[in-house]
Amino acid sequence: MIYDQARYTDDETKHEPLLSEKDESTVEIGGSKRDSPLPDDLTRDELTVPSLSEPELARHYTRLSQMNWSIDSGPYPLGSCTMKYNPKFTEDVAADPNAAIHPDRSADSAQGNLGVLHGLQEYLATIGGMDAVTLQPPAGAAGEFTGILIAKAYHDHHGNNRSEVIIPASAHGTNFATAAMAGYDVVELPSDEGGRVDLEALKAAVSEETAALMLTNPNTVGLFERDIVEIAETVHDVGGLLYYDGANLNALLGRGRPGDMGFDIMHYNVHKTFATPHGGGGPGAGPVGVVEELSKFLPRPRVRETDDGDYEQFAPEKSIGKVHGFGGNWLVLIKAYAYIARLGDEGLSDASAKAVLNANYLAEQLAMEVPFGPFHHEFAATAGDRDAADVAKRMLDFGVHPPTTKWPEMVPEAMLTEPTEIESRRTLDTLAEAFNAAYADSDEAIETAPSRTTASRIDQVSAARNPRLSWQALDDE
């Protein structure tokens, strides 16, 4: 397939102009022009903001949208990102005006919202094999942070001041940053030759200092940690906790639950597994599930059902407190509830089955080697002696989004690919053609790609060397 992206080109120097290049209006606030309700010393002097009509803005944003790729445009197989289709009806459900209420309302007057929160807590608990769930963390990384704070509170409660969190080298960068933010030293664990946790290295790494092991399963090249029971025992034997990074949960729905594998704490990425839209980077939501013993440390408030079928909020006995100013990304949580309800048991299991089928089928069509397997919902192909980032740029010209590139590092020139369950065989074939054509293309072709996108290859180095982060910075030049 060939794709020509929309490109509104204003002149030789730019595409669609900035709002500020279309209008700059200044309002003077102090002085006699306005009948200000505040004395001058409490106000700013003036405000300069573009002031355009609604039709001009409708065109501006329509044009910007046309210069943007999305899952509704075509395949978006970013590994570890789970870009699946976002059902339209979930938007309508979340837009219910009755759900748009203030977070400080009394529980009595917010029974509907509490009911949805309770329902989603229950769904996520059963899906993860966990005993209790908080919906407060507003993103996956916030969920990780919540989980590690819970681990810390648990150890503190037992009088153990532990200093280390163990993380496999192949883990998401957020794991390392999260552990450091919580004040832990990071112990990086090497992979074995097969790409999984090196059990002997883990046994050597654990100690009385181990607060937790953070693990993604299947891992970031799609491999299931077959030794998971022994891994869990190894960590539990020294009194540590096992944390499950939910980024790859889309591989396991209905076939394996973190709670059954020995995990004590997990987060769910509802914007991955449960199909809420990514919105160009967020909002997502990162609920956290825990085993019973840890439920008393969950953030406050939690929601429970009373004997007479009402819902009430309560603070867990040893709550870590709060991780979001209010209750998290409410609108996202509604969409996740609706998606899970739409799929039910069979749909959830089928989503994972088809996600794994699609990844395996796609890999089979590729000219590139896939060093590690058997993989599940994602795989890391290697571009070998080609530059994976260049191959990816060339793919942009073929009407597909490329995979995640050059990560994880255990695969040289990695192209981490996750097609998800939403692609048909025909689309997978098209995607494979794009991979193979880009991979086989000449050095010159891939180094100068893309050409059919709104922007051609962008100079990343000068963007960082000479940071210009606002239209004001451009004006100053």
Partner 1 sequence: MTDTDGSPFAPHTADETAAMLAELGVDSEADLFDIPETVAFDGEFGIDSRSEQEIRGELQRLFARNDDLTEFMGRGHYSHYVPSLVDHLSDRAEFLTSYTQYQPEITQGFLQALFEYQSMVVELTGLPVANCSMYDAATGLAEAALLADRVRETTGDTVLVPEYLRDGKRSVLENYVAGAGLTVETYPMADGNVDRAALADLAGDETVMIYAENPTVRGTIEEGLDEIGEIATESEALFCLSSDLVALSLLEEPAGVGADVVVGEADVLGLPTSYGMGLGIFATKEEFLRQVPGRLVGVSEDQNERRAYTLTLQTREQHIRKERATSNICTNQAWVALRAAMHIAMLGADGLVDLAEDCVREAAALAEQVDELSGYQAPVHDRHHFREFVVRSDQPAKAVAERLEAAGFGVHAVDDHLLQLCVTETNAHATDELLAALQEAS
Q: Which of residues 196-255 bind partner 1 (CB under 8 A)?
A: 223-224, 226, 228-229, 252, 254-255
Q: Which of 2, 32, 42, 317 binds partner 1 (CB under 8 A)?
A: 42
Residue 382 beta carbon to partner 1: minimum distance, rounded to whole angstroms: 19
Residue 440 beta carbon to partner 1: minimum distance, rounded to whole angstroms: 20
Q: Measured from the CB atom, is 440 or 463 closer to partner 1?
A: 463
Assess 386 for contact with partner 1 (CB under 8 A): no
Residues 6+ apart with CB under 8 A from 337: 116, 119, 120, 123
Assess 43 for contact with partner 1 (CB under 8 A): yes
Give Cα 125 distance to the centre of its chain: 20
Q: Which of 79, 132, 134, 145 binds partner 1 (CB under 8 A)?
A: 145
User: Quick one: which of 138, 84, 120 has its CA closest to 352?
Assistant: 84
Between strands 265-267 and 241-245, the pairing is: parallel
Residue 38 beta carbon to partner 1: minimum distance, rounded to whole angstroms: 6
Residue 250 beta carbon to partner 1: minimum distance, rounded to whole angstroms: 11
Q: Cα separation of 450 and 401, whole Å?
A: 12
Q: Which of 4, 208, 293, 364 binds partner 1 (CB under 8 A)?
A: 364
Q: Which of 155, 267, 278, 296 binds partner 1 (CB under 8 A)?
A: 278
Q: Measured from the CB atom, is 15 or 318 closer to partner 1?
A: 15
Q: Name residues contacting partner 1, limited to 332-351 (CB under 8 A).
A: 332, 334, 337-338, 340-351
Q: Which of 4, 36, 195, 445 binds partner 1 (CB under 8 A)?
A: 36
Residues 6+ apart with CB under 8 A from 274: 268, 335, 336, 339, 340
| Alpha-carbon distance values, 62 to 8, 56, 66, 460 (Å) | 11, 10, 6, 26
Q: Cα separation of 72 and 53, whole Å?
A: 29
Q: Name residues contacting partner 1, limited to 114-143 (CB under 8 A).
A: 115-116, 123, 126-127, 129, 138-142
User: Quick one: which of 321, 395, 271, 329 has its CA closest to 149?
Assistant: 321
Q: Measured from the CB atom, is 207 or 349 closer to partner 1?
A: 349
Assess 179 for contact with partner 1 (CB under 8 A): yes
Q: Name residues contacting partner 1, limited to 151-170 (CB under 8 A).
A: none
Q: Measured from the CB atom, is 72 or 208 closer to partner 1?
A: 72
Q: Measured from the CB atom, is 54 or 200 closer to partner 1?
A: 54
For 194, phi then psi, to 5°, come to -85, -5
The type of residue at 45 is D
Structure tokens at 312: 């009430």
Stretch that binds partner 1, among 199-207, 236-244, 380-388, 418-426 (CB under 8 A): 418-426
Q: Name residues contacting partner 1, limited to 420-449 (CB under 8 A).
A: 421-425, 448
Residue 200 beta carbon to partner 1: minimum distance, rounded to whole angstroms: 19
Peptide bond before 37: cis, by omega within 30 degrees of 0?
no
Radius of gyration of the chain (CA): 25
Q: Cα separation of 277 and 284, whole Å?
A: 8
User: Residue 335: how many CB atoms within 10 A of its CB?
Assistant: 24
Assess 257 for contact with partner 1 (CB under 8 A): yes
Assess 357 for contact with partner 1 (CB under 8 A): yes
The type of residue at 274 is F
Stretch that binds partner 1, among 174-182, 202-210, 236-244, 290-298 (CB under 8 A): 174-182
Residue 322 beta carbon to partner 1: minimum distance, rounded to whole angstroms: 4
- For the chain, the straight-line distance linking the first and the last C-alpha, in angstroms and rounded, comes to 41
Residue 361 beta carbon to partner 1: minimum distance, rounded to whole angstroms: 5
Q: Kindly report the CA angle at 209 between 207 and 213, in degrees rounded to 5?
A: 75
Q: Which of 133, 205, 288, 323 binds partner 1 (CB under 8 A)?
A: 323
Q: Cα separation of 44 and 47, whole Å?
A: 8
Residue 191 beta carbon to partner 1: minimum distance, rounded to whole angstroms: 16
What is the H or E stretch that residue 473 is in? helix 471-475
Assess 456 for contact with partner 1 (CB under 8 A): yes
Q: Cα separation of 250 and 247, whole Å?
A: 8
Q: Which of 211, 214, 241, 275 binds partner 1 (CB under 8 A)?
A: 275
